[in-house]
């Protein structure tokens, strides 16, 4: 057993670090004596080494807390971290090239405002890179839960492809393509066709391009400003994305503009009760938790999607996707909740193991947790006359 001081010295960290990890619940001592003294053992030391290694690799303390719940997740976590390192290598190479060009220009022409701004723009992309990596990782976590535990034998992306009539589609635009999951197992013949995959996140596009190769065109696009001429596409796909558009009216008008007359929009969404049990679990543990800052289905959902689209399109049809999740492991639920867009990470910081134990007990008592899924697809035909 080690005192806090000896334990810190052995690990070559400060006592303040050990006390902080204790305070946030990341590394509790094995023994707290009656006099308040803390004692650490060799297992605590192994856990501390794991924390320090993961921290050195760039994981946040919140991410480390989740990773340490299940050592089998290390490979996946380290793999995603390696992807970030690869992106950072490209980023720093870009900085190096830009600096070299700037040095040559300054030597020959002197410093200029234009070149200074260009250099600052390159340097500012590091924070964007980290955010893109986290968004991509979180998206994969959420999709993975559905892959693992859906009861419908036809998974979502396969079902979605089956609903799309590709027979008359030569030019297609997918907005908000994410990491390209819709096309991973697609057997659609792309010869003499132009399929554009777009996302507002450059990091997502890089993920999609790495997975799918060069048979698609990739573009960073804001739905509110689609850079294509009128009547350009036969088909537009918006899979679980319209509820994120800040100005939905503007976004739908842009989609309507670039679609040919009688072109088709395929827009998916979900209902107000979709994944409700996940939200209930989080709130039962701590009622302050909010998994999303917006009620997305209220913006564009199963309940109001047909009415919204009917202002821009004709022959709006809704097709429902029947499915549930039956989850018998606690870790994927914790991962899913941590990946959401709300305030959960702030509230769960230092309490991940407690939260994991809470969910695990629920599963042990019930055998599994059944989660409601209510997703749907709207198929809408473009009106012949364009909107003003």
Average pLDDT estimate for 376-381: 97
Average pLDDT estimate for 136-153: 80
Confidence (pLDDT) at 129: 45
Confidence (pLDDT) at 387: 47
151 closest CA partner among 374, 268, 360, 322: 322
Confidence (pLDDT) at 121: 62
Average pLDDT estimate for 83-95: 72
Confidence (pLDDT) at 84: 63
* 10, 41 contact by CB (below 8 A): no
Q: Is 225 found in the same domain as 200?
A: yes
Tokens of 62: 């919140």
264 closest CA partner among 237, 235, 242, 238: 235
Q: Is 81 found in the same domain as 17?
A: no
Residue 214 lies in a domain: yes
Question: What percent of the chain has pLDDT above 90?
Answer: 48
CATH number where 189 lies: 3.40.50.150
Q: Of 117, 145, 173, which residue constitutes the final position of a domain?
A: 145
Q: Is 255 found in the same domain as 359?
A: yes
Q: Is 207 found in the same domain as 126?
A: no
* pLDDT bucket at 115, cuts 50 / 70 / 90: low
Direct distance between the N- and C-terminal alpha carbons of the chain, in angstroms, rounded to an integer: 76
Confidence (pLDDT) at 388: 41
Whole-angstrom Cα distance, residue 249 to residue 296? Answer: 15
CATH number where 13 lies: 1.10.1660.10
Q: Examine the pLDDT at 172 and tell me if it is beyond 60.
A: yes
Confidence (pLDDT) at 134: 55
Q: Is 203 found in the same domain as 343?
A: yes
* pLDDT bucket at 130, cuts 50 / 70 / 90: very low
Q: Which of 80-84, 159-163, 218-222 has the lowest mean pLDDT?
A: 80-84
The mean of the pLDDT values for the chain is: 86
Average pLDDT estimate for 106-121: 67
Whole-angstrom Cα distance, residue 5 to residue 14? Answer: 8
Q: What is the pLDDT of residues 199-232, one digit of tens each?
A: 988 878 888 998 899 999 999 999 999 999 999 9
pTM: 0.72
Residue 158 lies in a domain: yes
Q: Examine the pLDDT at 25 and tell me if it is beyond 70.
A: yes
Residue 369 lies in a domain: yes
Residue that has been written with the tokens 């022409």 in this structure: 109
Average pLDDT estimate for 83-90: 70
Q: Examine the pLDDT at 127 and tell me if it is beyond 60.
A: no
Domain that holds residue 264: 149-382
Residue that has been written with the tokens 């870790």 in this structure: 331
Residue 63 lies in a domain: no
Q: String of b and e for 29-40 (b: at least 16 CB within 10 Å)?
A: beeeeeeeebbb
* pLDDT bucket at 380, cuts 50 / 70 / 90: very high
Whole-angstrom Cα distance, residue 381 to residue 266? Answer: 9
Q: What is the pLDDT of residues 52-68, one digit of tens each?
A: 887 877 677 877 887 77
Confidence (pLDDT) at 145: 87
Q: Is 323 found in the same domain as 262?
A: yes
Q: String of b and e for 368-381 (b: at least 16 CB within 10 Å)?
A: ebebebbbbbbbbb
Domain count within the chain: 3
Average pLDDT estimate for 72-85: 66
Q: Examine the pLDDT at 260 and tell me if it is beyond 50.
A: yes
Q: Roughly what angle, to the nearest 10 degrees, separates helices 276-285 and 330-338?
A: 90
Residue 61 lies in a domain: no
Q: Is 123 found in the same domain as 234?
A: no
Q: Is 301 found in the same domain as 169?
A: yes
Residue 378 lies in a domain: yes
Element (H, E) at 256: helix 248-258
- Residue 25's alpha-carbon distances to 19, 29, 183, 221, 350, in angstroms, are 10, 10, 42, 42, 4
Q: What is the pLDDT of residues 180-204, one digit of tens each?
A: 999 998 889 898 999 999 998 887 8
Q: Is 132 found in the same domain as 154?
A: no
Q: Examine the pLDDT at 107 and tell me if it is beyond 50.
A: yes
Q: Is 111 found in the same domain as 239?
A: no
Most confident of 87-101, 205-219, 333-347: 205-219
């Amino acid at each position: 057993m080690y005192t806090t001081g000896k334990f810190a010295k052995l690990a070559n960290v400060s006592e303040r670090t050990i006390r902080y990890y204790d305070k946030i619940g990341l590394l509790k001592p094995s023994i707290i004596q009656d006099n308040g003294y803390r004692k650490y053992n060799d297992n605590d030391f192994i856990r501390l080494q794991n924390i320090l290694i993961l921290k050195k690799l760039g994981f946040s303390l919140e991410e480390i807390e989740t990773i340490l719940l299940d050592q089998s997740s290390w490979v996946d976590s380290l793999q995603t971290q390696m992807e970030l390192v690869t992106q950072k290598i490209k980023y720093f190479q870009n900085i190096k090239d830009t600096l070299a060009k700037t040095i040559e220009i300054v030597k020959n022409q002197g410093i200029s405002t234009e070149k200074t701004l260009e250099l600052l723009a390159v340097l500012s992309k590091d924070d964007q890179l980290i955010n893109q990596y986290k968004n991509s990782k979180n998206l994969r976590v959420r999709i993975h839960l559905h892959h693992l535990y859906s009861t419908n034998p036809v998974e979502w992306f396969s079902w979605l492809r089956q609903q799309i009539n590709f027979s008359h589609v030569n030019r297609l635009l997918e907005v908000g393509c994410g990491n390209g999951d819709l096309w991973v197992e697609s057997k659609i013949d792309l010869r003499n066709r132009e399929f554009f995959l777009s996302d507002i996140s450059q990091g997502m596009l890089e993920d999609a391009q790495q997975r799918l190769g060069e048979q698609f065109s990739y573009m960073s696009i804001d739905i509110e400003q689609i850079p294509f001429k009128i009547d350009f596409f036969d088909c537009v796909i918006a899979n679980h994305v319209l509820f994120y558009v800040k100005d939905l009216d503007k976004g739908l008008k842009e989609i309507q503009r670039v679609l040919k007359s009688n072109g088709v929009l395929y827009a998916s969404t979900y209902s107000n009760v979709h994944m409700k049990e996940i939200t209930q679990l989080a709130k039962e543990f701590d009622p302050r938790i909010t998994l999303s800052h917006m009620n997305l289905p209220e913006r564009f959902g199963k309940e109001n999607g047909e009415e919204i689209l009917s202002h821009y399109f004709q022959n709006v049809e809704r097709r429902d996707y029947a499915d549930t999740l039956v989850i018998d492991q606690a870790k994927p639920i914790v991962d899913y909740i941590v990946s959401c867009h709300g305030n959960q990470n702030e509230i769960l910081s230092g309490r991940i193991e407690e939260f994991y134990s809470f969910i695990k007990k629920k599963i042990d008592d019930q055998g599994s947790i059944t989660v409601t899924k209510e997703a749907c697809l709207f198929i809408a035909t473009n009106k012949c006359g364009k909107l003003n």
